[in-house]
Chains A and B, each alone.
Chain A
Amino acid sequence: MQRPFTIDDIAMNYSSYIALIPLLPLAAFVMLGLLGKQLSRSAGILATLIMLVSTVLACYTAYNYFFVTGKVNGVYPPVAAFHYNWLPFSPGLSIDMGVLLDPASVMMLVVVNFVSLMVHVFSLAYMKGENRFATYYAFLALFTFSMLGLVLSGNLLQMYIFWELVGVSSFLLIGFYYDRPAAVAAAKKAFIVTRFADLGFLIGILILAFYGGTLDFNTLIYQLTATNSSPLTQSPQAGFPGISLLTWALMLVFMGGAGKSAMFPLHIWLPDAMEGPTPVSALIHAATMVVAGVYLVARLYPIYLLDVAVLQIITWVGAISAFLAAIIACTQTDIKRVLAYSTISQIGYMLFALGLAGYGHTTTGYSASLFHLFTHAFFKSLLFLGAGAVIHFVHTNEMLEMGGLRKWMPVTHLTFLIACMAIAGIPPFAGFFSKEEILLAAWENNRYVFLLALITSGITAFYMFRLYFSIFWSRTRSYPHQHGEGSWTMKVPLVLLGTAAVLVGFIPFADFVALDNQKEITIPLSFSIAPVTIAIAGIALAYLLYYKYNPGPQKLALALGGLYKMVKRKFYFDELYLFITKRIIFDGIAKPAAWIDKHLVDGFMNGAGRATARFAESIKAWQSGRVQSYALYFFGGIIALAALIVYWWT
């Protein structure tokens, strides 16, 4: 098969070790899954060491890719580092297992490995003394394997397989405390909602594969962008109701991405997923798995660029999610839920940045989006790990029961502050640079989205510092269980991620990850004034309301009345879904279906059985029990048949 964009001789450089990066965590999973009981305490250390090796390999790969191989004709070429023809169907269509390296996947490789390693180290202290300590590490390793596989996938179906695998490991980890009913419910909810979205993803894959003739990313992109003869890109008449097949396929694929990335209106599972252990939230529900939707759209970006309508839908889904989630985050008091909504909000940023190209002015949103994904992974996992340290210290998630923690937890306090500055977009922290690029892309393409994003960034600064002031300042309390800030295994990841959150913004990201024909991103200094001002205003408001404990916030909540209540209840999305599932689907569809099954289908079957039994009852007297009379009937029958045959024959 023709592989137009890949250069095979470069692939030879990587093939020897690249497969090890995902396979090492898999080996850890198998080992801990089988021998976990015997290893107990050392299980965590073993898994962490394996992750360390994998991370080193990933960094080496990135170094090799960006600096040794370098650019070919001015772009970083996609490299199929490893390719195995797994299930061939026809000469054109086969399901392969492969590793595809391009700037986006190499970037994700480093991010996933690094954050996973930090979480592994952090969990050594956080999960200490847990009954299922080894199982926890086995699940973490399974997740890391699946996520790395997803990132490196060279074709759609392979990506889908790993996509479901991360879903499963997320399910297992959310439900880790399976003796808590809330955790079990949250795990089920997360699984069902994302599965529902994945149904769309699968159908989208099938449409793309059927009409594109291949599952391979590069070949698919090449075929769809280079030729206009494909039925996918042709007139809308080929599709159903007036929408072209390509639009359908891309919409459905995006539905899968939106489910995984917890976008409006499929966002309901993410806040509940916070029932899992906090380091898990840092890894899965902040830095890696939930950005899979962004990564998916970025992977197929050249195809998405063919369809303006879908990009515009993505823009608005992203922008509305970003805005609504930010508002909801202002009213939540569970610190992990605040962070969960802020994650939804930030992923909304990434998605609308991708979608902005649909307004046809510039395509800089692509690298802006992935840059934000990159920086967000560091500061958001830092926030979650900081929250984990806080929860570990005060034994509660409620921010109303915290305050004054800066005295006891100086390291956590400092790193948390850095992360808050980063997410609020204060220079020179990482989030500032990526958010500026997104805002610039919005400014160039769609002013309404820009305005919404600007307001959202102000709200972001407000709720993050509301969280920060409530935890570390406000009124000082006495905490009954004093056991210090935590061991070095908890502090080292915080410090490393904090350093990253300061430094990664200075990476000239657009030089590494960009579309082939993308123009330089230059942010004029004057452009930054508005976002930074609004962020500082948000922080100032939070300072006024939450720096010292005062009745201000409560008064404000009372003054807003119904509006506050509506936001606090998350715009009644959960209630709406419950109404739809319970009242409409269960009562309206499932119960009548059950009635039909019980009374009509079963009734018919029972009736048939009863009729047979009654008929048999009426003729059973024919069975006399006299063997010889049976034999007589038999011979009589044979003779009659013989007579008949002889008669017919002659």
Chain B
Amino acid sequence: MNEIPLTHILFLSTALFFIGMYGLFTRRNLITMLMAIELMLNSVNINFVAFNKYLYPDKLNGVFFTLFIIAVAAAEAAVAIAIFINLYRNHRSIDVEETEQMRY
């Protein structure tokens, strides 16, 4: 069977990571920024699974970590969205510029 080399997968995850980073820095909409963060998290997940499969195929550590990250990301998304809703109620907007008022 013609296996996909590890480097391809690493390339994918790196690309995904920097796409996410680009999104995080350029977008002004908080939900879009959250989605960008999710992209970065998923790139890490791909890394974990890939290294697990290619380097230590008889172990499951990487897979477990991935599951953990997914769970944490879900919780984090819930918290983040709760914050956005409150922000929207107060400012009628979820633009990241609005949050500047929350400094000290």
Binding site for B on A (CB under 8 A): 620, 623-628, 631-632, 635
Chain A's closest residue to B36 (CB) is: A631
Surface stretch bound by A, among B58-66, B69-77, B93-101: B93-101
Given the complex, which residues of B lie within 8 Å of A627, measured CB to CB?
Answer: 33, 96, 99
By the criterion CB–CB under 8 Å, are B25 and A631 in contact? yes
Chain B residues 81-104 with CB under 8 Å of chain A are 96, 99-104
Report the nearest A residue to B96, measured CB to CB.
A627
Cα–Cα, bound, A632→B22 (Å): 11
With A624-B103, A631-B25, A635-B21 given, can you name 7 additional A-B contacts, CB distance below 8 Å?
A620-B104, A625-B100, A625-B103, A626-B100, A627-B99, A628-B96, A632-B25
Give the residues in chain A near B24, CB-CB below 8 Å.
Answer: 628, 631
Bound complex: CA A628 to CA B97 (Å): 10
Chain B residues near A625 (CB, 8 Å)? 99-103
Main secondary structure of the interface of A (DSSP, over half): helix
Which of A624, A632, A635 lies in contact with B100, CB distance below 8 A? Answer: A624
A627 to B27, CA, bound (A): 11
Shortest Cβ distance from B28 into A: residue = A628
Which listed residue (A623, A628, A631) contacts B103, Cβ 8 A? A623
Contact in complex: B100, A628 (CB < 8 Å): no
* Bound-state Cα–Cα, A436 to B24, Å: 104
With both chains docked as a complex, state the minimum distance between the C-beta of B19 and any C-beta of chain A, in angstroms: 14
A621's closest neighbor in chain B, by CB?
A: B104
Interface centre among A624, A628, A632 (most CB of B within 10 A): A628
Residues of chain A contacted by B102 (CB below 8 angstroms): 625
How far apart sit A623 and B104, CA to CA, in the bound complex (Å)?
A: 7
**B104 surroundings in chain A (CB, below 8 A):** 620, 623
Please name 23 pairs of A and B residues whose Cβ atoms are closer than 8 Å in the assembled complex, sorted by A: A620-B104, A623-B103, A623-B104, A624-B100, A624-B103, A625-B99, A625-B100, A625-B101, A625-B102, A625-B103, A626-B96, A626-B100, A627-B33, A627-B96, A627-B99, A628-B24, A628-B25, A628-B33, A628-B96, A631-B24, A631-B25, A632-B25, A635-B21
Chain A residues within an 8 Å CB radius of B96 = 626-628
Number of interface residues of B (CB under 8 A): 11
- A103–B71 Cα gap in the complex (Å)? 77
Interface centre among A620, A625, A626, A631 (most CB of B within 10 A): A625
Question: Can you list, as one digit per residue, whether each of B17-42 has a CB less than 8 Å from chain A (1) or not (0)?
Answer: 00001001100000001000000000
- Rounded to whole angstroms, the CA-CA distance of A624 and B99 in the bound complex is 10
- Closest A-chain residue to B30, C-beta based? A627
Q: Which residue of B lies closest to A629 (CB)?
A: B25
Q: Which residues of chain A are within 8 angstroms of B101 by Cβ–Cβ distance?
A: 625
A623 to chain B: closest residue by CB: B103
Q: How far is the CB of A634 from chain B (nearest CB, A)?
A: 10
Q: Which residues of B contact A620 (CB under 8 A)?
A: 104
Closest Cβ of chain A: how far from B47's Cβ, in Å?
Answer: 15
10 residue pairs, one from A and one from B, having the closest CB atoms:
A625-B103, A625-B100, A623-B103, A620-B104, A623-B104, A628-B25, A627-B96, A626-B100, A631-B24, A627-B99
**In the complex, how many angstroms separate the beta carbon of B56 from the nearest chain A beta carbon?**
22
A626→B33 CA distance, assembly (Å): 13
CB distance from A612 to the nearest CB of B (A): 15
Residue of A with least CB distance to B100:
A625
A627→B101 CA distance, assembly (Å): 11
Kindly state the separation between the CA atoms of A625 and B25 in the bound complex, as whole angstroms: 15
In Å, the complex CA distance between A68 and B17 comes to: 97
- Considering only CB atoms, which chain B residue lies closest to A626 in the complex? B100
CA distance A620 to B21 in the complex (A): 27
- Cβ distance A572 to chain B, nearest Cβ, rounded Å: 66
Residues of the B chain whose Cβ atoms lie less than 8 Å from the Cβ of A623: 103-104
Q: How far is the CA of A635 from the CA of B18 in the complex (A)?
A: 11
Q: Which chain A residues lie closer than 8 Å to B99 at the CB level?
A: 625, 627
Look across to chain A and name the residue whose beta carbon is closest to the beta carbon of B103: A625
- Report chain B residues within 8 Å CB of A626: 96, 100
Tell me how far the C-beta of A527 lies from the nearest C-beta in chain B, rounded to whole angstroms.
95
CA distance A631 to B101 in the complex (A): 17
Chain A min CB distance to B26 (Å): 9
Residue of chain B at shortest CB distance from A628:
B25
Rounded to whole angstroms, the CA-CA distance of A632 and B26 in the bound complex is 11
A484 to chain B, nearest CB (A): 83
Complex Cα spacing A626 to B101, Å: 9
CB distance from B14 to the nearest CB of A (A): 13
A626 to B21 Cα, complex, angstroms: 16
Chain B residues with CB below 8 A from A631, complex form: 24-25
* Residues of A contacting B103 in the complex (Cβ-Cβ under 8 angstroms): 623-625
For the complex formed, measure the closest distance between the CB of A636 and the CB atoms of chain B, giving whole angstroms.
12
CB contacts (< 8 Å) of A635 on chain B: these are: 21
A627 to B37, CA, bound (A): 13
Interfacial chain A residues near B33, Cβ < 8 Å: 627-628
C-alpha gap A628/B96 in the complex (Å) = 8
Closest Cβ of chain A to B16, distance in Å, is: 16
Chain B residues with Cβ below 8 Å from A624 are 100, 103
Contacts of B21 in A (CB 8 A): 635
User: What residues of B have a CB within 8 angstroms of the CB of A632 in the complex?
Assistant: 25
Choose among B25, B96, B104 the residue with the greatest number of A CB atoms under 10 Å from its CB. B104
CA distance A625 to B96 in the complex (A): 10
Distance of A620 Cα from B103 Cα, bound (Å): 9
CA distance A624 to B100 in the complex (A): 7
Q: How far is the CB of B37 from chain A (nearest CB, A)?
A: 9
Q: How far is the CB of B97 from chain A (nearest CB, A)?
A: 8
Kindly provide the distance from the CB of A158 to the nearest chain B CB, expressed in whole angstroms: 57
- Least distance between A335 CB and chain B CB atoms (Å): 75
Cα A5 to Cα B15 with chains together (Å): 90
